[in-house]
Chains A and B, each alone.
Chain A
């Protein structure tokens, strides 16, 4: 990274302070971030991320009726439980050989679209943006706030705020206008969700084989009327976010280095196309490419693959620094996939989870999170893919693929065009998300409101399809099946914050093995068995510090912005280090510089 090299040239003797944030507030799950910060050179030297929770889904799922898997796995996550249910049902449908009616797939798409709109909104506006709000910027970068007061907001004609500081004020927690409106929008969009999937967080109307949702015209009218009333908010959010993020690049030159890491993005695709998808493994490459969010692995800006079979076979679960015993001496459950390709012992189909509670040791094992990696056959590397918090990878992959082509969303090969119809106050608008130069904190955050717009636009498309089926009398929503004695299945989906896969092995009509891989293990993993840090660690480690406070009153806003940009499981806001850091050691810069090069 060029900025790092430039800083190295004028390096001062290091002044390294140990600082930690544990627990990180405003997230689902238990996350701690432990860093060493060089205050002389204003950068983070080292970062460890640790999760202190083990519950054991893959252990207690064994021996259960596989049809129960969606109901159980929903409970993995308290904000995107429906993404798990959906993914589990995809995996089960493959195992049972059942294709739900097209209307059922469309209802699931509508539910998932509402979920994306709700979840990204509450996270971005109520929690991420607290890091960029007036109160926060005042206490971390007062000179930046002063500049924001003088800087006219470019998109003021859309969102109505005159200066960038006015926008920041609207994001102040509990008092700011946008903060309060976002809470309301997060409730209305959850109502939309409940219309399709019954309940939020843990849906009641999703089944393997389809849905139980009553597909009456009213169901869709109730959804549509709510959708059109949140559109103004969606359009304004994109405009406000662009203004604030563009301002940060201008006000703090070099801010692009905050949270920047190599472009290593994974997206497993979302929104099945019911015309193409039959859930069979043998045709997965084809229906994967037909999804309305295109799957893909993006390395250094290039699309390495968009083939779900390749994606599936490349998944490896490494242990490294986590509290588990290895399973490589066990019998493999699956030696070959249904196409005859060999399946690795470290693949989720073959994983056995053996928890080994132990003392936390940052030089040894320090987290309950394992380290999923994607094995790139071309480079023979185990890539620590991240999800860019979800939207960044989704938009990037969809844009590069250039496959999505609907009346509302079009992928161009270098961008994604999103068309939203006229709303209460604002006219029809076409927004364009262009592939950015960096995979960094600001671009992860910027992608989020664009993906809200994407989901809202696709919701219109799904509504039109659903109403088409209903008006044509095609109201069947569930297809029956028999659970086979032996089968395997896999499901690929996007949880709100990124890639989600479920791998299932059935023997004697019972679950013999089940492994869900949500985005947080990908993003929040510790160092793996090759010593490769997980994405939170990698993005924070080496990042510059722009906060104006010194070690005594340091809050860590730049670090928290980076961690939060990955959407660590849930709305995560003002969690700051307060109080004095513990001065560890003072090292000479050459030692540090050499180790860091």
Chain B
């Protein structure tokens, strides 16, 4: 069973993208001071395909020289030295740069007075914390491309769930879904809580190839996700999906069978993790015994909670599949028994019964045939 993901391309031919020469050098300004756990940065360091060090050290052919400014990985000394490129970019003195935002964007407007939900460095004049929102307001309009890393930054995620006190949202909610960067790109959303390491690095590498002028912009769907990564569902890549088709459902988490009845949302979630594995092909979610809780989705987490119950609609669809699945499973069971038997000619009796019938065989039909012909 498949689900149409309803994806549409919006950026194959982005508005205003003129033919141009690419950049030889680009800065990546990565701010993880959103409402985040920094899990996307950590996840990114797990990628070996390509590794971040391969990109930074120039081992991937065709990319511009990359200057990465990330709190965890930057070889800069830090402090004001670390903040310097961010400050320069905000003044319009550093370009081109790709702005990567990690974490959901809090709503500062609900705070009365001088408080803040999250900050990144201080205002050099007053010494007061500079909010994440201040940085986005100053950097996003100047960025050649804007990339949202992880479900928090793309769609709000955990920190924007019902009952949250911070009014958090995703970057496109904050900047507007029709936002276009200096490079005429929409925001490039790479959802995942956290990002699947290779999904992120592959997307970033495509954006960098585009920056170098050697590739078109990455194709995105209507939720601004890379189509080739999020165009299919978890279910379509899940190695337990055949159990679903045969209406064979796990009743608890001990089972190796389809987990839809114990809380898996795989059939309706856009994500490639069961197919790709978590890192280097190892791990994943339903394929290794974890229910899909929809962590790549705009509706995450609220639409999927409580996680450990059968999804809405699951009862109906699993009832529908039951008669078909039961018949198919029975028929396949019979065939399976048949193909689990060895053919009857494998024995050590004094007769060859395999069907081979050479002319030298005295009693053989081939010999008689040959003599008749002579």
Contacts and interface: CB of A to CB of B under 8 A. Distances in A.
Contacts of B40: 78
19 contacts: A26-B71, A28-B38, A52-B33, A72-B301, A75-B193, A191-B282, A194-B284, A199-B283, A201-B39, A202-B194, A204-B293, A357-B115, A357-B117, A360-B128, A360-B129, A477-B254, A574-B76, A575-B79, A579-B81
Contacts of B166: 54-56
A78 B78 contact: no
B291 interface: yes
B36 A78 contact: yes
B118 interface: yes
Interface string A152-188: 0000000000000000000001100000100100110
B158 A555 contact: no
Contact of A75 (B37, B114, B120): B37
A52 B308 contact: no
B38 A29 contact: yes
A60 B162 contact: yes
A53 B115 contact: no
B324 interface: no
Contacts of B323: none
A199 B278 contact: yes
A356 B166 CA distance: 11
B278 A198 contact: yes
A56 B164 contact: yes
A54 B118 contact: yes
Contacts of B37: 28, 75-78, 81, 201
Contact of A357 (B43, B113, B161, B293): B113
Interface in B226-268: 252-254, 256, 259
Q: Is the interface of B mostly helix, strand, loop or mixed?
A: loop
Contacts of A203: 290
Nearest to A19: B79
B305 A26 contact: no
B115 A187 contact: no
A198 B288 contact: yes
Contacts of A359: 113-115, 128
Interface in A540-597: 555, 570-571, 573-579
Interface in B315-329: none
Interface stretch (B45-53, B204-212, B216-224, B364-372): B45-53
A75 B166 CA distance: 16
A71 interface: yes
Contacts of A209: 253
Interface string A37-67: 0000000000000001111100110111101
Contacts of A571: 72
Contacts, number: 257
B45 A59 contact: no
A173 B75 contact: yes
Contacts of A575: 77-79, 82
Nearest to A560: B78
Contacts of A480: 252
A200 B278 CA distance: 8
B279 A187 contact: yes
Contacts of A207: 253, 308
A194 B279 contact: yes
B93 interface: no
A53 B117 contact: yes
Given A54-B117, A81-B39, A211-B289, 9 more contacts: A54-B118, A56-B159, A65-B305, A65-B309, A72-B158, A78-B41, A201-B39, A357-B113, A578-B77
B88 interface: no
Nearest to A30: B33
B164 A200 contact: no
Given A67-B308, A78-B37, A187-B48, A27 B254 contact: no
A189 to B, nearest CB: 10
B312 interface: no
B118 A23 contact: no
A419 interface: no
